[in-house]
Amino acid sequence: MSVAAAGYVRVSTEEQAREGYGLAAQEHAVGAYCQAQGWQLVEVYVDAGRSGKSMRGREELARLLANAAAGRFQRVVFWKLDRLARNLRDLLNICDRLEALEVGIVSIQEAIDTGTPAGRMVRSFLGAVAEFEREVITERIKAGIAEKARQGELVGPVPVGYQRSDGGAIVPDPATAPLISAAFTRYATGQHSLRQMAEWANGAGLRSTLGNPIDRLSIRKILTNPAYMGQVTYHDRQGGADVSKGKHPPIVDAALFGEVQVQLTGRQRRSTARPYGREPYPLTGVGVCGYDGTPLMGTRATNQGRRYMRCTTTARRGRNACKQPMVPAELLEAQVAAYVGGMVLPDEYLTAVRQELQQRLAVPDSGEAERLRRELERWKRLFVLGEIDETRLRRETGPLKRKLADLTRPSSFDLEGAVRRLRDMGSVWSESPRALQRDFMGEVFARVEVCGPQIVAITPRETYSPLFLLDRAHRFNGDQGVVWLPGQDSNLQPSG
């Protein structure tokens, strides 16, 4: 009986330009090989302009795997091993899935046919070599970027205030360079805060490199960028920085730049006595603004000493940037306590909840895991380009790595302990230290959405969600749109 074979060809735009991997040439080689073997070529799957670093975004590869599961062919033929995958984990994953379906892979260039034991051994070895080659290329790119910086060339996006000339040189932008100079001069007087500077910059028409309005953090990034005094800084992997004289002309002189740094440092020292961020706020990390989706931050009113939750958009761009007002933190925390304190968790249903949790923990959320991997890769690229140092890289990627580890490793969940915490916390909330309240919120809730003075939506974490669904079924007849307010009776049914 003739062997049914499928062809797979892939090329990324960079490879096509650099190495001449043509789709037509690959497809011709696949057809000739199948003809020489006496195999029937049933279909050729073409991923044009798709990178082999990941399986994500390769629609034809996904369709090939689906058709393999349907039993439409017994071999997958391609020109070279790295056409299938450049990542060893992906390569082994694809091969294992195909071999479980009794579908072998054939690499023409490396003469591999995993229909044989020898072919499977060689495939694993060459896959490791392909991944090693990719890592070497990445290291060369990093070294090349560092060398460009040492030679005085700016790496990464061109800073606001500069533009590329027709010849490719970086020169001051006649429209925005005067605004950058004015910003340094204005802040050096010591009479303006970063928030006031951001308002001034937006009013003057200054925008970020992406065309977004300037906020407090953006103006600080401008005022601390040595590129504006004609220098190039490259952050290495150990958190240090190499500073070189740039090939681009300065916009501000070194004396003015230094005076601005003195003003920034002085404001930092004066602000350490202020209580912002020096005590736990239970909603930190889970509270979000219902108007623009940005996180809420804890702050104190300097004249009253009261704790408030504030939209980070207004904190960065001013009070008129978002409709969400500052809300007393105690008001929102009381709503959480009232909600949790009224939860109904009948013991007779906990067995079913345990079974549901076991099923959820056994199957990680691959979509969320893939999103976290993409976010990690984004921060790594910023580090490679010299946009951030290693300290910032660790700070941003640490929480992402922990979330990814929770999704991708086998987990267990203490159901009885979770029920006990939910039952107890409502009654002891007011007597609990705020640090304990914050830990409880972070463990139980994924998102607490606030509009105006009240919580409008609460999203529990995946492991806790069956308990919340059980409570809603008993307390509110499964209604998902209930808003719990302070002092609300736990047996009160929602109106309407």
Task: Give the residue numbers marked as catalytic.
Answer: 12
Tokens 């749109």 -> residue = 481
Q: Which of 346, 347, 270, 329 is nearest to 455 (CA)?
A: 329
**Do the Cβ atoms of 285 and 448 come closer than 8 Å?**
no
Q: Which helix (H) or strand (E) holds 233?
A: strand 231-235
Find the angle CA(198)-CA(202)-CA(203) to the nearest 5 degrees. Answer: 115
Side-chain half-sphere of 471: how many Cα atoms within 13 Å? Answer: 20
Two tokens at 253? 């002189």
Residue 346 phi/psi, 5° resolution?
A: -65, 135
What DSSP string describes 367-403?
Answer: HHHHHHHHHHHHHHHHHHTTSS-HHHHHHHHHHHHHH
Question: CA-to-CA distance for 54 and 320, rounded, in angstroms?
Answer: 43
3-class SS at 471?
helix
Q: What's the alpha-carbon Rg for the chain, to the nearest Å?
A: 29
Question: CA-to-CA distance for 37 and 30, rounded, in angstroms?
Answer: 11
Two tokens at 85? 């995958």
**Do the Cβ atoms of 471 and 343 come closer than 8 Å?**
yes
Question: CA-to-CA distance for 341 and 489, rounded, in angstroms?
Answer: 10
3-class SS at 11?
strand
Question: CA-to-CA distance for 318 and 323, rounded, in angstroms?
Answer: 11
Size of the chain in residues: 496
CB proximity list for 190: less than 8 A, separation 6 or greater: 263, 266
Helices 117-150 and 366-384 pack at an angle, to 10 degrees, of 40
Specify which residues 434 forms β-bridges with. Answer: none
Q: Which helix (H) or strand (E) holds 148?
A: helix 117-150
**Do the Cβ atoms of 199 and 222 come closer than 8 Å?**
no
Question: Mind spelling out the 3-state secondary structure of 341-372?
Answer: HCCCCCHHHHHHHHHHHHHHHHCCCHHHHHHH
**Using the 8-state DSSP alphabet, how is residue 212 labeled?**
P
